[in-house]
């Protein structure tokens, strides 16, 4: 069964600090891995999408890495801001031949404190 | 910037009633999706829709569920006879051709009493 596991479940950091969120997946076949930011009660918003051949991708203060061999990804947030407080969800897509179903992780709930 | 919209934002219904959740995808998108998120749980895929037919559906999407694109703009999810366990946030998403990127709407919170 396809699964995406994230750690930690929750994290509290001080404003201005960096943090790294982890994602492990067992999705096959593999098409791409995405990181989403979800504010409470809102829809997920895409931060990065990486395909099999990409090791790293940045979007402003967010940098995602992908190791397709070990089936791990990380999301690094630099110089955190209060507005970064949200859930960060790792999502893996099976190959296009399996449709475009997304398997969602449970998310890491990040709280940035002043 | 174009966005996916959903109505209503919150729907309360009694068990056994039919509900229709509405979505307006981004105008030039061709692929449409419904997801649900039970409070405190993971987002789960329900169904994908392309070219006026279902592309894929999960085991959650049983005979009680149906989707429709009744006109050129709306995309609807119907739950025929709601159960208490259907209470969740329902997200619509759409995707354009040649990209993996799915854009999510703000969601409809469905409460079944």
pLDDT in tens, B56-82: 899 999 999 999 998 878 999 999 999
Mean pLDDT confidence for A59-77: 96
pLDDT band, residue A95 (cuts 50/70/90): low
Q: How many CB pairs under 8 A join A and B?
A: 56
pLDDT, residue A97, reads 53
B91·A43 Cβ contact <8 A? yes
B43·A89 Cβ contact <8 A? yes
How many angstroms separate the CA atoms of A49 and B100, rounded? 8
pLDDT, residue A79, reads 98
pLDDT band, residue B113 (cuts 50/70/90): very high
Contact B69, B52 (CB under 8 A): yes
B48·A41 Cβ contact <8 A? no
Mean pLDDT confidence for A78-88: 97
The answer on pLDDT for A65 being more than 90 is yes
Collect all residues of chain A within an 8 Å Cβ-Cβ radius of residue B56.
99-101
pLDDT, residue A63, reads 98
- Mean pLDDT rounded to a whole number for chain B: 93
Q: Which of residues 71-90 of A touch B (CB under 8 A)?
A: 89
Mean pLDDT confidence for B75-93: 96
Highest mean pLDDT among A64-78, A95-109, B97-111: A64-78
Q: Which of residues 2-61 of B touch A (CB under 8 A)?
A: 4, 31, 33, 35, 41-45, 48, 55-56, 58
Give the chain A residue nearest B58 (alpha carbons).
A101
pLDDT band, residue A94 (cuts 50/70/90): confident
């Amino acid at each position: 069964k396809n699964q995406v596991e994230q750690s930690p479940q929750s994290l509290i950091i001080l404003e201005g600090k960096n943090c790294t969120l982890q994602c492990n997946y067992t999705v096959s076949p593999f098409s791409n891995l995405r990181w989403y930011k979800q504010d409470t009660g809102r829809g997920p918003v895409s931060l990065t999408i990486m395909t099999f051949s990409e090791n790293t991708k940045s979007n402003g203060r967010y940098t995602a890495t992908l190791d397709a061999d070990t089936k791990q990804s990380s999301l690094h947030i630099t110089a955190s801001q209060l507005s970064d407080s949200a859930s960060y969800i790792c999502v893996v897509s099976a190959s296009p031949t399996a449709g475009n179903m997304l398997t969602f992780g449970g998310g890491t709930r990040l709280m940035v404190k002043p | 910037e174009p966005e996916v919209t959903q109505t209503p934002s919150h729907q309360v219904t009694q068990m056994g009633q039919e509900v229709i959740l509405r979505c307006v995808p981004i105008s030039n998108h061709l692929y449409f999706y419904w997801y649900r998120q039970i409070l405190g749980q993971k987002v789960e895929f329900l169904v994908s829709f392309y070219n006026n037919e279902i592309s894929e559906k999960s085991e959650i999407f049983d005979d009680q569920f149906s989707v429709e694109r009744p006109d050129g703009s709306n995309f609807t999810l119907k739950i025929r006879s709601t159960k208490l366990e259907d209470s969740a946030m329902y997200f619509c998403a759409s995707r354009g051709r040649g990209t993996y990127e799915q854009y999510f709407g703000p969601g409809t919170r469905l409460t079944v009493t």
